[in-house]
Amino acid sequence: MGAESWLKSLSGIPARFLLRRGPKGAEVYLASAGAVLLVVVVALTVLAPYIAPYNPIVEIGPSLQPPSSQYPMGTDNLGRDVYSRVLYGAIVALEVSAISVLLSSTVGTVLGLFSGYSAGKTDRVLSIVMDSIYAFPGLILAIAIAAMMGPGIVNMSIAIAVVYIPTYFRMIRGQVLSTKEQLYVEAARALGARNSTILFRYIFANIIPSLVVVLSLNVADAILTEAGLSYLGLGIPPPTPDWGFDLSKGKSFLPGGYWWMITFPGLMIVIVVLGFSLLGEGLNEILNPRLRER
Amino acid sequence: MGSLRLYLITRVLLALPMIVILLLLIFVVLRVMPGDPVLAMLGDKAPMSQIQEMRHQLGLDRPMYVQFFDYFLSLMRGDLGNSLIWGRRPISVEILEHFPATLELTIGSMIIMLLVGVFTGAQSAYRRNSPTDYGFRTFGIVIYSIPIFWFGMILQLIFGIYLGWLPIAGRIDPFLSPRAVTGIYSIDSLLAGDILSFVSTIQHLILPSLTLGLVLSGIFTRLTRVNMLDVLRQDFIAAARARGLKESSVLYKHALKNAFIPILTMIGLQFALLLAGAVLTETTFSWPGMGSYLIERINYRDFPAIQGAVVFFAVLVAAVSVAVDMIYAFLDPRIRY
């Protein structure tokens, strides 16, 4: 199976986009590489209960053992299997990023559509508010919200979601503003189409490709933010396996040279984030071919 | 009034709504979000009378808009209230003690970020579609996918623990302390002519700056590449080559100079990323800056200090965006209102 059919089967992108690819087709390989990484990670996550050799939250042997055939990634300070914790850790990371991205994209898209289409005082006020949040360091805002709301998957997701709403708002609003002046939208209006029809069937439908790209890149960011929050102790309470939290525990044992406690959870974060970044980058060049020149 | 001055004044005034909105947002987040700061500070089992007293003491029993205007007016005077722990000192004083450390770290990181990012981006554009180009572009994507704190720990492990070349925590050797003038140790130690302190400061600065600077350099690789590609296509580059200039001079003197204005505006936007990254870098390297301050106060439930720190970040971001626009306006005479 070639790279194109791979991508088609994995992401459901209509074939007509793929037909427009340039001579090198590097973007298809980028997206495919990202998709493959993600499929592997998702498979590992789903299969974690079957392939993890030990229970991730109980002591299964001596503490701080280096990687061996018995403990593939060693054991942590509490004698738990690092490999099992790394496998299970994906669950929290993927859950939190999925919930937060779903939340922020929904709110951001609805507000962006409304704001761009109505274009009045509301639009101006919303835009200033969104621009202000956008300019503020996202992680610091998430830290403040997470610190106030307390630990937990839903709380952490909300904290992350608030930060990314402006990303969607700005993108959608910009697209609505440029799309609604197009001739075919005017034609639809002349034919007497209702506002809701124009907004969803004519404008929103044309924004979907850009939205897909932003979604993919945003999941990558959300996972990094989730890891950051857990690393700072604002994530979910122990002993649930979580990469960011495990890294902060591993940090206290760093001077002893116990490299395996930090190396493997960190690598997993890199792999997942890289997967979503590559997918997003690749899709961006496939779906927005005008950028190809660059 | 000159058009430049008019532009600058307008720009400063436009930053005010941003600060007010961010302030309002922080205010709402800290008060409306579920989770009561007073309960968080005193614990669930605190007697009702104590909770009421704390609320009163913090002014939380007044209507929210009163609290907001009160806070805003104090902020205008540079007063952020007093912290709840360790002698209840003014928060503005505590912030001024911690901010120079963050400034030193961000400057160090920015130098690395620009050196690495601009060089890789320029080379990438110049050798478009070559293995170098693909290599540097891959570097840009991969490096940005690495969690800052993890990258820092790996550097600590390699250069601090295995090789023992560089310290992994703090700003300076604990036995040294340069006389404080700016609070930025590298500058203070130079002013005092204290070479020992200067060397120690730089040694402590290297790993944190590399951590933050390298991770964020990926953005600049891409940015420089895109802008350089645009510039390299233009006629004056061909003209420079036709005059027989050296390639390095064409690339770095003629092309880069013109590609730099959009890059400069991005530095303003990336400053927010730099600050967010600094929080993670500081906690990893026990760097006593604003990020460590914020996290420390979160752990102590020092609610006014958390608010003060976040507000300080907001004002800082607004100030930097104004400053960058001003530099931009000086460099490019077309930008006026």
pLDDT tens digits in sequence order for chain A, 294 residues long: 344 444 444 444 444 444 444 445 677 888 888 999 999 999 988 888 898 888 888 888 888 888 888 888 888 888 898 899 999 999 999 999 999 999 999 999 999 999 998 878 999 999 988 988 888 899 999 998 898 888 889 999 999 999 999 999 999 999 899 888 889 888 998 998 888 888 888 888 888 888 999 999 999 999 999 999 999 999 888 888 999 999 999 998 988 888 998 999 999 999 999 999 999 988 888 887 655 444
Choose the closest CB to B272 out of A136, A162, A259.
A136
More confident: B67 or A270: A270
Cross-chain residue pair A247–B153, CB shorter than 8 Å: yes
Judging contacts by C-beta atoms under 8 Å, the chain B residues touching residue A27 are none
CB A257 within 8 A of CB B162: yes
Beta carbons of A104 and A165 less than 8 angstroms apart: yes
| Phi, psi torsion values for B94, nearest 5 degrees | -60, -40
Cα angle at B192 between B189 and B196, to 5 degrees?
A: 50
- Whether pLDDT at B203 is above 90: yes
> How many residue pairs from chains A and B have C-beta atoms closer than 8 A?
147
Q: In chain A, which residues have their Cβ closer than 8 Å to the Cβ of B314?
A: 136
Residue B124 and residue A183: Cα distance in Å, rounded? 39
Nearest to B229 among A137, A148, A294 (CB): A294
Query: B145–A270: do the CB atoms touch at under 8 Å?
Result: yes
> Does the pLDDT of residue B146 top 90, yes or no?
yes
Q: Which of B37, B157, B321 sits opposite A254 (nearest CB)?
A: B157
Cis preceding linkage at A238, omega within 30: no
Nearest CB among A132, A234, A273 relative to B18 is that of A132
Count CB atoms within 10 A of the CB of residue B280: 27
The C-alpha atoms of residue A216 and residue A278 are separated, in whole angstroms, by: 9
What pTM, to 2 d.p., does this model score? 0.88
Is the model more confident about B290 or about A74? B290
Q: Which residue of A has its CA nearest to B227?
A: A294
Q: Given pLDDT bands bounded at 50, 70 and 90, which one contains residue B35?
A: low
Contacts of B282 in chain A (CB under 8 A): none
Q: Distance between CA atoms of B54 and B43, rounded to whole angstroms?
A: 12
User: Is pLDDT at B96 greater than 70 in this prediction?
Assistant: yes
Q: How far is B249 from chain A (nearest CA, A)?
A: 23
CB contact under 8 A, A139 and B321: no
The alpha carbon of residue B275 is apart from the nearest alpha carbon of chain A, in Å, by: 7
Q: What DSSP character marks residue B180?
A: P
- Asked if pLDDT for residue B44 goes beyond 80, the answer is no
CA distance B13 to chain A (A): 14
* pLDDT at A113 (0 to 100): 92
Neighbours of B218 (CB within 10 A): 26
> Is residue B333 scored above 90 in pLDDT?
no
Are A144 and B299 in contact (CB < 8 Å)? Answer: no
